[in-house]
Amino acid sequence: MAGTVEIINLVDNTVTTRGLIAEHGLAFLVRTGERTILFDTGAGGAVVQNMLSLGLDPREITAIALSHGHDDHTGGLKKICEITGPLPVYAHPDVFTAKYRLREGEKARYIGIPWSRAELETSGAIFHLSRQPVELAGGVILTGEIRRRQAFEAISKEFRLLAGGEYLQDSLWDDQSLIITTREGPLVLLGCAHSGLISTLEHILDLTGASRIFAVIGGTHLKDAGPERLEETIKSLPRFGLQYLVACHCTGFRASASLYQALGDKFIYNEAGRAFRFAC
């Protein structure tokens, strides 16, 4: 891949740009020159409206990649496919499992994809499901399953799968990230990093053979992290050589403040509508 890559944050939890809306969700448009990839689709209401407000045509999208099967990342999928017509959609096979959040003292709440696979296929989604890494365009790779390496990055027990009438722990093996090759090294787009931020970055170094990671953009799922997890995460970050960490969506205020204190100007707190361009 030669030239530049453009990454536009279409959906995030915060916004300051007039005409855009925020929602609890995440979506990025990745333009490589070879392909225009939508990475996640937000919770549903914002992705199309924000594209139009930014002067972007949803019909320029040539592929969709899903980081995992939670509704705040898949809720806009049906509407996008209805506008664009048939589109390849890349995801992990577990993306369609019956996902719930179960908190003590509360009823289980469904948080999976809002539609059945059949409904989405009728709308134009052409699913390509794989547990292995998939090259989506030159220099753009969907990671596949990410092995959990760090004990301090345990997945919340609130995330459950409904199977055989029981709510079982969801290990979220469908969690994936996007790797984009730049002149400065791998750039990583995260959905929620349910596999753990550090485990994800270690996986990407192994996958790419790189010695460092140039930048990370996306959700880190540190919003509910306890002091120990946050401390261990921040302690582990320097060995990746990050030049930028752009925190989105599920990072949370406390974790963002701690990351800013640790990283200084290398830390950016994101908002919907922000665009990034990198040489490839």
Residues with Cβ within 8 Å of 274's Cβ and at least 6 positions away in sequence, in order, are: 8, 9
d(CA 192, CA 151): 18
Summarize the confidence of residues 201-229 as an average pLDDT.
97
Query: pLDDT value at position 138?
Result: 94
What's the chain's average pLDDT?
96
CB atoms within 10 A of CB 59: 13
Answer yes or no: are the C-beta atoms of 124 and 38 closer than 8 Å. no
Summarize the confidence of residues 32-54 as an average pLDDT.
96
Summarize the confidence of residues 12-39 as an average pLDDT.
96
Tell me the pLDDT tens digit for each residue of 120-161.
999 999 999 999 999 999 999 999 999 999 999 999 999 999
pTM as predicted: 0.97
Answer yes or no: are the C-beta atoms of 88 and 64 closer than 8 Å. yes
Give me the percent of the chain exceeding a pLDDT of 90.
Answer: 98
d(CA 230, CA 249): 17
Query: pLDDT value at position 245?
Result: 98
Amino acid identity at 200: T
30 alpha carbon, distance to own chain's centre: 12
Query: pLDDT value at position 37?
Result: 98
Summarize the confidence of residues 245-258 as an average pLDDT.
96
- Going by the DSSP 8-state scheme, the letter that residue 195 receives in this structure is T
Answer yes or no: are the C-beta atoms of 172 and 196 closer than 8 Å. no
d(CA 20, CA 52): 9
Give the confidence band of 2 by pLDDT, cuts at 50, 70, 90.
low
Dihedral sign for Cα 96, 144, 196, 216, please. negative
Answer yes or no: are the C-beta atoms of 168 and 59 closer than 8 Å. no
Query: pLDDT value at position 18?
Result: 93
Q: What are phi and psi of 152, to 5 degrees?
A: -75, -5
- Do β-strands 63-65 and 36-39 pair in parallel, antiparallel, or remain unpaired? parallel
In the structure encoding, which two tokens stand for residue 42, read together?
């937000």
What number does CATH give the domain 4-279?
3.60.15.10
Query: pLDDT value at position 178?
Result: 98
Query: pLDDT value at position 242?
Result: 98
